[in-house]
Amino acid sequence: MQEQNYYLKIGQIIKELREKQNMTKTQLADGICSISYITRIEKGERCPTSVILRQITNKLGISPEHLFRAIESSTSLHVKELLDQIFLYIERHDFKNIYELIKSKKEELHVTSIHDLQIIKGLECFSYSILNQNYQWGINEVKNILKLTYANKSTPTDMEFALMSMHGVLLLFSNQKKEAYNYLISIKKYIHNINLLHTRFILPRFYVYLISASLDTCNLKDCFEYLDYAINYCKDYNTHYTLRELYFLKSELYYRLKKEKKFKLWYGKALRLHELIKRSDDEYFNTFIQNRLNQLK
Protein backbone atom coordinates (compact mmCIF):
# COMPACT_ATOMS: atom_id res chain seq x y z
CA MET A 1 0.00 0.00 0.00
CA GLN A 2 2.81 2.38 0.90
CA GLU A 3 4.53 1.60 -2.42
CA GLN A 4 1.31 2.36 -4.33
CA ASN A 5 0.99 5.71 -2.53
CA TYR A 6 4.58 6.52 -3.51
CA TYR A 7 3.86 5.73 -7.17
CA LEU A 8 0.70 7.85 -6.98
CA LYS A 9 2.60 10.84 -5.57
CA ILE A 10 5.19 10.63 -8.35
CA GLY A 11 2.43 10.48 -10.94
CA GLN A 12 0.48 13.37 -9.43
CA ILE A 13 3.51 15.66 -9.35
CA ILE A 14 4.56 14.77 -12.92
CA LYS A 15 1.01 15.45 -14.13
CA GLU A 16 0.85 18.80 -12.28
CA LEU A 17 4.19 19.92 -13.72
CA ARG A 18 3.22 18.78 -17.22
CA GLU A 19 -0.13 20.59 -17.16
CA LYS A 20 1.41 23.69 -15.62
CA GLN A 21 3.68 23.92 -18.69
CA ASN A 22 0.75 23.23 -21.08
CA MET A 23 2.55 20.10 -22.24
CA THR A 24 0.58 17.17 -23.65
CA LYS A 25 1.30 13.55 -22.79
CA THR A 26 2.42 13.09 -26.37
CA GLN A 27 4.98 15.87 -26.01
CA LEU A 28 6.26 14.54 -22.70
CA ALA A 29 6.52 10.97 -24.03
CA ASP A 30 8.27 11.95 -27.26
CA GLY A 31 11.71 10.36 -27.41
CA ILE A 32 11.30 8.79 -23.96
CA CYS A 33 8.53 6.20 -23.82
CA SER A 34 5.00 5.46 -25.03
CA ILE A 35 2.04 7.75 -24.29
CA SER A 36 0.32 4.89 -22.48
CA TYR A 37 3.37 4.52 -20.20
CA ILE A 38 3.07 8.22 -19.22
CA THR A 39 -0.65 7.68 -18.56
CA ARG A 40 0.07 4.76 -16.26
CA ILE A 41 2.77 6.74 -14.41
CA GLU A 42 0.41 9.67 -13.85
CA LYS A 43 -2.30 7.32 -12.56
CA GLY A 44 0.15 5.75 -10.11
CA GLU A 45 0.02 2.38 -11.83
CA ARG A 46 3.69 2.34 -12.78
CA CYS A 47 6.87 3.73 -11.28
CA PRO A 48 9.31 4.90 -13.97
CA THR A 49 12.79 3.42 -14.15
CA SER A 50 15.65 5.67 -13.03
CA VAL A 51 16.63 6.33 -16.68
CA ILE A 52 13.09 7.27 -17.76
CA LEU A 53 12.55 9.32 -14.60
CA ARG A 54 15.68 11.38 -15.34
CA GLN A 55 14.53 11.92 -18.93
CA ILE A 56 11.05 12.98 -17.81
CA THR A 57 12.33 15.38 -15.16
CA ASN A 58 14.84 16.88 -17.61
CA LYS A 59 12.03 17.56 -20.08
CA LEU A 60 9.96 19.12 -17.29
CA GLY A 61 12.90 21.34 -16.33
CA ILE A 62 13.53 19.90 -12.87
CA SER A 63 15.99 17.45 -11.33
CA PRO A 64 15.06 14.02 -9.92
CA GLU A 65 16.05 15.41 -6.50
CA HIS A 66 13.45 18.17 -6.88
CA LEU A 67 10.80 15.54 -7.57
CA PHE A 68 11.76 13.38 -4.59
CA ARG A 69 11.80 16.40 -2.29
CA ALA A 70 8.34 17.39 -3.52
CA ILE A 71 7.14 13.87 -2.66
CA GLU A 72 8.73 14.04 0.77
CA SER A 73 7.19 17.38 1.81
CA SER A 74 6.79 21.00 0.80
CA THR A 75 9.30 21.89 3.52
CA SER A 76 11.92 19.67 1.89
CA LEU A 77 11.28 21.44 -1.41
CA HIS A 78 11.78 24.84 0.26
CA VAL A 79 15.10 23.58 1.66
CA LYS A 80 16.15 22.61 -1.88
CA GLU A 81 15.27 26.13 -3.09
CA LEU A 82 17.35 27.59 -0.25
CA LEU A 83 20.31 25.37 -1.15
CA ASP A 84 20.06 26.33 -4.83
CA GLN A 85 20.24 30.02 -3.87
CA ILE A 86 23.17 29.36 -1.51
CA PHE A 87 25.06 27.51 -4.26
CA LEU A 88 24.53 30.43 -6.62
CA TYR A 89 26.03 32.80 -4.03
CA ILE A 90 28.95 30.41 -3.49
CA GLU A 91 29.77 30.39 -7.19
CA ARG A 92 29.90 34.19 -6.97
CA HIS A 93 31.93 34.01 -3.74
CA ASP A 94 29.24 36.11 -2.05
CA PHE A 95 29.64 35.06 1.58
CA LYS A 96 27.78 38.05 3.01
CA ASN A 97 24.58 37.03 1.25
CA ILE A 98 25.12 33.36 2.11
CA TYR A 99 25.37 34.13 5.81
CA GLU A 100 22.41 36.53 5.81
CA LEU A 101 20.22 34.14 3.81
CA ILE A 102 20.91 31.18 6.10
CA LYS A 103 20.44 33.29 9.22
CA SER A 104 17.06 34.60 8.01
CA LYS A 105 15.66 31.28 6.74
CA LYS A 106 17.02 28.39 8.80
CA GLU A 107 14.58 28.67 11.73
CA GLU A 108 11.41 28.70 9.62
CA LEU A 109 12.41 25.76 7.42
CA HIS A 110 12.57 23.03 10.11
CA VAL A 111 15.31 21.11 8.29
CA THR A 112 15.16 17.39 9.15
CA SER A 113 17.68 15.80 6.76
CA ILE A 114 21.09 15.33 8.42
CA HIS A 115 22.83 16.03 5.11
CA ASP A 116 20.87 19.25 4.55
CA LEU A 117 21.61 20.33 8.12
CA GLN A 118 25.27 19.49 7.59
CA ILE A 119 25.78 21.62 4.50
CA ILE A 120 23.66 24.54 5.74
CA LYS A 121 25.47 24.64 9.09
CA GLY A 122 28.84 24.16 7.39
CA LEU A 123 28.28 27.05 4.99
CA GLU A 124 26.97 29.26 7.77
CA CYS A 125 30.17 28.66 9.80
CA PHE A 126 32.39 28.99 6.72
CA SER A 127 30.81 32.29 5.70
CA TYR A 128 30.93 33.67 9.24
CA SER A 129 34.61 32.76 9.66
CA ILE A 130 35.53 34.43 6.34
CA LEU A 131 33.49 37.58 7.01
CA ASN A 132 35.06 37.93 10.46
CA GLN A 133 38.49 36.56 9.49
CA ASN A 134 38.17 34.05 12.32
CA TYR A 135 39.71 31.23 10.32
CA GLN A 136 40.85 28.88 13.08
CA TRP A 137 37.37 28.88 14.62
CA GLY A 138 35.98 28.07 11.16
CA ILE A 139 38.44 25.19 10.69
CA ASN A 140 37.40 23.62 13.99
CA GLU A 141 33.67 24.05 13.28
CA VAL A 142 33.87 22.62 9.75
CA LYS A 143 35.83 19.60 10.99
CA ASN A 144 33.21 18.91 13.66
CA ILE A 145 30.33 19.24 11.18
CA LEU A 146 32.05 16.86 8.76
CA LYS A 147 32.36 14.26 11.54
CA LEU A 148 28.55 14.06 11.77
CA THR A 149 28.43 11.77 8.72
CA TYR A 150 31.89 11.07 7.35
CA ALA A 151 33.78 7.85 8.04
CA ASN A 152 37.55 8.28 7.77
CA LYS A 153 39.13 7.18 4.47
CA SER A 154 35.77 6.39 2.84
CA THR A 155 34.73 8.12 -0.39
CA PRO A 156 32.91 11.31 0.63
CA THR A 157 29.63 12.56 -0.79
CA ASP A 158 29.83 15.79 -2.77
CA MET A 159 28.70 17.77 0.28
CA GLU A 160 31.26 16.07 2.51
CA PHE A 161 33.91 16.86 -0.09
CA ALA A 162 32.72 20.48 -0.08
CA LEU A 163 33.25 20.58 3.69
CA MET A 164 36.73 19.10 3.27
CA SER A 165 37.47 21.80 0.68
CA MET A 166 36.31 24.48 3.13
CA HIS A 167 38.84 23.16 5.64
CA GLY A 168 41.62 23.54 3.07
CA VAL A 169 40.45 27.02 2.03
CA LEU A 170 40.42 28.24 5.62
CA LEU A 171 43.95 26.94 6.11
CA LEU A 172 44.97 28.93 3.02
CA PHE A 173 43.21 32.09 4.22
CA SER A 174 44.86 31.78 7.63
CA ASN A 175 48.25 31.85 5.89
CA GLN A 176 48.96 28.19 6.67
CA LYS A 177 49.92 27.72 3.03
CA LYS A 178 52.00 24.56 3.25
CA GLU A 179 49.37 22.89 5.43
CA ALA A 180 46.65 24.01 2.99
CA TYR A 181 48.55 22.60 0.00
CA ASN A 182 49.21 19.26 1.70
CA TYR A 183 45.60 18.93 2.84
CA LEU A 184 44.08 19.84 -0.53
CA ILE A 185 46.44 17.42 -2.31
CA SER A 186 45.42 14.68 0.14
CA ILE A 187 41.70 15.00 -0.71
CA LYS A 188 42.17 15.42 -4.48
CA LYS A 189 42.08 11.61 -4.84
CA TYR A 190 38.35 11.59 -4.05
CA ILE A 191 37.30 13.79 -6.98
CA HIS A 192 36.78 11.12 -9.61
CA ASN A 193 34.98 8.77 -7.19
CA ILE A 194 32.16 11.15 -6.29
CA ASN A 195 29.15 9.81 -8.17
CA LEU A 196 26.59 12.58 -7.69
CA LEU A 197 27.11 16.34 -7.74
CA HIS A 198 24.30 18.56 -6.44
CA THR A 199 26.01 21.57 -8.02
CA ARG A 200 28.76 21.87 -10.61
CA PHE A 201 30.69 24.63 -8.84
CA ILE A 202 32.28 22.26 -6.29
CA LEU A 203 35.07 20.80 -8.45
CA PRO A 204 36.31 23.96 -10.23
CA ARG A 205 36.16 25.90 -6.96
CA PHE A 206 38.28 23.19 -5.34
CA TYR A 207 40.83 23.53 -8.15
CA VAL A 208 41.00 27.32 -7.76
CA TYR A 209 42.22 26.84 -4.20
CA LEU A 210 44.44 23.85 -4.94
CA ILE A 211 46.16 25.81 -7.72
CA SER A 212 46.42 28.90 -5.51
CA ALA A 213 48.04 26.82 -2.76
CA SER A 214 50.36 25.20 -5.33
CA LEU A 215 51.48 28.60 -6.60
CA ASP A 216 51.90 30.00 -3.09
CA THR A 217 54.15 27.09 -2.11
CA CYS A 218 56.03 26.99 -5.45
CA ASN A 219 54.70 23.52 -6.28
CA LEU A 220 54.33 24.34 -9.97
CA LYS A 221 54.92 20.91 -11.51
CA ASP A 222 51.29 19.81 -11.83
CA CYS A 223 49.64 23.22 -12.15
CA PHE A 224 49.15 23.02 -15.92
CA GLU A 225 47.38 19.67 -15.53
CA TYR A 226 45.09 21.09 -12.81
CA LEU A 227 44.39 24.23 -14.83
CA ASP A 228 43.60 22.43 -18.07
CA TYR A 229 41.24 20.01 -16.34
CA ALA A 230 39.42 22.74 -14.41
CA ILE A 231 39.18 25.14 -17.37
CA ASN A 232 37.71 22.43 -19.61
CA TYR A 233 35.27 21.45 -16.85
CA CYS A 234 34.09 25.05 -16.49
CA LYS A 235 33.56 25.34 -20.24
CA ASP A 236 31.65 22.05 -20.36
CA TYR A 237 29.34 23.00 -17.48
CA ASN A 238 29.13 26.79 -17.91
CA THR A 239 30.62 27.72 -14.54
CA HIS A 240 32.03 30.98 -15.90
CA TYR A 241 32.38 32.82 -12.61
CA THR A 242 35.11 30.36 -11.67
CA LEU A 243 36.58 30.26 -15.18
CA ARG A 244 37.84 33.86 -14.98
CA GLU A 245 39.78 32.99 -11.78
CA LEU A 246 41.33 29.99 -13.49
CA TYR A 247 42.35 32.17 -16.45
CA PHE A 248 44.06 34.54 -14.05
CA LEU A 249 45.81 31.71 -12.18
CA LYS A 250 47.12 30.43 -15.51
CA SER A 251 48.49 33.90 -16.21
CA GLU A 252 50.12 33.92 -12.77
CA LEU A 253 51.73 30.56 -13.45
CA TYR A 254 53.27 31.93 -16.67
CA TYR A 255 54.44 35.01 -14.74
CA ARG A 256 56.21 32.79 -12.23
CA LEU A 257 57.78 30.89 -15.13
CA LYS A 258 58.95 34.24 -16.59
CA LYS A 259 56.90 33.85 -19.79
CA GLU A 260 55.70 37.44 -20.15
CA LYS A 261 53.78 37.11 -23.44
CA LYS A 262 51.69 34.21 -22.20
CA PHE A 263 51.18 35.98 -18.88
CA LYS A 264 49.68 38.97 -20.73
CA LEU A 265 47.58 36.70 -22.96
CA TRP A 266 45.87 34.84 -20.11
CA TYR A 267 45.62 37.93 -17.91
CA GLY A 268 43.79 39.64 -20.77
CA LYS A 269 41.45 36.65 -21.15
CA ALA A 270 40.59 36.82 -17.45
CA LEU A 271 39.77 40.54 -17.63
CA ARG A 272 37.70 40.20 -20.83
CA LEU A 273 35.63 37.37 -19.40
CA HIS A 274 35.10 39.37 -16.23
CA GLU A 275 33.77 42.31 -18.26
CA LEU A 276 31.29 39.98 -19.98
CA ILE A 277 29.82 38.36 -16.88
CA LYS A 278 30.39 40.78 -13.99
CA ARG A 279 27.50 42.07 -11.92
CA SER A 280 27.16 45.58 -10.49
CA ASP A 281 27.92 44.32 -6.97
CA ASP A 282 30.72 41.96 -8.02
CA GLU A 283 33.85 43.08 -6.19
CA TYR A 284 35.24 39.64 -5.43
CA PHE A 285 37.14 39.09 -8.68
CA ASN A 286 38.91 42.45 -8.49
CA THR A 287 39.90 41.72 -4.89
CA PHE A 288 41.04 38.21 -5.87
CA ILE A 289 43.29 39.57 -8.62
CA GLN A 290 44.70 42.37 -6.48
CA ASN A 291 45.57 39.98 -3.64
CA ARG A 292 47.29 37.60 -6.05
CA LEU A 293 49.22 40.41 -7.75
CA ASN A 294 50.36 41.78 -4.40
CA GLN A 295 51.96 38.42 -3.63
CA LEU A 296 53.97 38.61 -6.86
CA LYS A 297 55.57 41.96 -6.01
Q: What's the CA gap between 117 and 122, in Å, rounded?
A: 8
- For residue 3, what pLDDT is reported? 45
Of 84-88, 162-166, 238-242, the range with the highest mean pLDDT is 162-166
- For residue 137, what pLDDT is reported? 97
pLDDT(145) > 70: yes
Q: What's the CA gap between 7 and 66, in Å, rounded?
A: 16
Q: What's the CA gap between 82 and 78, in Å, rounded?
A: 6
Give residue 21's identity as a one-letter amino acid code.
Q
Span 45-78, pLDDT tens digits: 888 887 888 899 889 887 776 677 666 666 666 7
Closest CA to 51 of 36, 41, 64, 62: 64
- For residue 240, what pLDDT is reported? 87
Domain with CATH 1.10.260.40 in the chain: 2-72
Domain with CATH 1.25.40.10 in the chain: 73-193
At the top level of CATH, which class does the domain 200-297 belong to? Answer: mainly alpha
Span 198-224, pLDDT tens digits: 778 889 999 999 999 999 999 999 999
What dotted CATH number matches 73-193? 1.25.40.10
Give residue 30's identity as a one-letter amino acid code.
D
* pTM of this structure: 0.76
Is residue 2 very low, low, confident or very high in pLDDT (cuts 50, 70, 90)? very low
Whole-angstrom Cα Rg for the chain: 22
**Residue 4, C-beta contacts closer than 8 angstroms, at least 6 positions apart:** 44
- For residue 65, what pLDDT is reported? 67
Is residue 39 very low, low, confident or very high in pLDDT (cuts 50, 70, 90)? very high
pLDDT(297) > 80: no
- The residue among 256 and 90 whose pLDDT is bigger is 256
- For residue 4, what pLDDT is reported? 46
Give residue 113's identity as a one-letter amino acid code.
S
Domain 2-72 has CATH 1.20.140.10: no
**Residue 103, C-beta contacts closer than 8 angstroms, at least 6 positions apart:** 124
Q: Which long-range contacts (CB under 8 A, 24 or more apart) does 77-81 make?
A: 78/109, 79/109, 79/111, 79/113, 79/116
- The residue among 67 and 181 whose pLDDT is bigger is 181
- For residue 161, what pLDDT is reported? 94
Span 275-291, pLDDT tens digits: 998 876 678 888 999 99
Q: Please provide residue 217's backbone torsions phi and psi, each rounded to the nearest 5 degrees.
A: -105, 10
Span 97-122, pLDDT tens digits: 999 999 888 777 677 677 778 888 99
Q: What's the CA gap between 64 and 82, in Å, rounded?
A: 17
CA distances from 170 to 15, 89, 161 (A): 46, 18, 14
